[in-house]
Amino acid sequence: MSATARAVRTAGRSPRARAVAATARRAAGALAAVTLKRALDVTLGSALLLLTSPALAVAALTLSLRPPRGRGGVLVRETRIGLGGHPFELRSLRTRRLRLGLLSRLPHVVRGELSLVGPAPLTPDENALLGPAAGRWRHGLRPGLTGLAQVRARSGMPWDEPALLDAHYAEHHGTGLDLAILAQSARIPLRAAARRLHHRGKARLSDTDHRLPGYSVAE
């Protein structure tokens, strides 16, 4: 059907019919976006889980061989609020290495309890403090492994408060923004590792390393 024919057909509809059609188009667009986001979670989440499984297995084995310190085992189990406001048990490796702890949550992404990108998963107590408006948009999104608030957390700017960033993500989220956040999430630890290597290399260099044979301070 041509654009002119569609315009004539739409003009002949009642306001109620046009409103219903517009609502249907928005719903179809939202469903397509959700389906694409879920497909990205399953494909990329599965690939990341496959790539990181050896490191996660070694970390789990190391933790299991350590002498017990206090209560708990290899995994930390916490109740968090997911899609639709439904609680689920979030499991993470009991490690002080933040990135390994996050990567150990990848099974939740593949199962659909988390998304790769989204607001941070709230505890039941935090969820109880949400107002009606915040509760609606939060419960309409899967919580994320990473998110806009996490990658902007260290900026120090007043508009980069986690709650404001989560609300901004809920309003503007899409595949492009998700990929940008994932790229930034990967760039942050790589940049930190490069800085550590740089400083470690500088620390190994002393002023005696480059002195010529026979050099004396007295000279």
Q: Which two tokens stand for residue 91?
A: 């499991």
Find, among 97, 179, 105, the residue nearest to 144 by Cα. Answer: 105
48 burial class (0-12, 13-18, 19+ CB within 10 angstroms)? middle
Task: Give the tens place of pLDDT for each residue, 113-143.
Answer: 999 999 999 999 999 998 888 888 899 999 9
- Whether 104 maps to a domain, the answer reads yes
pLDDT band at 215 (very low <50, low <70, confident <90, very high): very low
What integer pLDDT is reported at residue 8 of this predicted model?
42
At 161, the pLDDT band (50, 70, 90 cuts) reads confident
- Alpha-carbon distance 119 to 77, whole Å? 19
| Structural domain contains residue 102 | yes
Angle at 76 between CA 89 and CA 52, to 5 degrees: 95
pTM of the model: 0.69
pLDDT at 15: 73
Domain coverage including residue 46: 33-203
User: Is residue 190 in some structural domain?
Assistant: yes
Whether 216 is covered by a domain: the verdict is no
Cα angle vertex 17, ends 15, 23, to 5°? Answer: 100
The answer to whether residue 196 is domain-embedded is: yes
Q: Which residue has the higher pLDDT, 38 or 157?
A: 38
Question: Is residue 211 one of the residues assigned to a domain?
Answer: no
**pLDDT, tens digit (0-9, with 9 covering 90-100), for 80-103:** 999 999 999 999 998 887 688 899
The number of domains in the chain is 1
Question: Does residue 94 form part of some domain?
Answer: yes
Question: 148 burial class (0-12, 13-18, 19+ CB within 10 angstroms)?
Answer: buried
27 located within any domain:
no
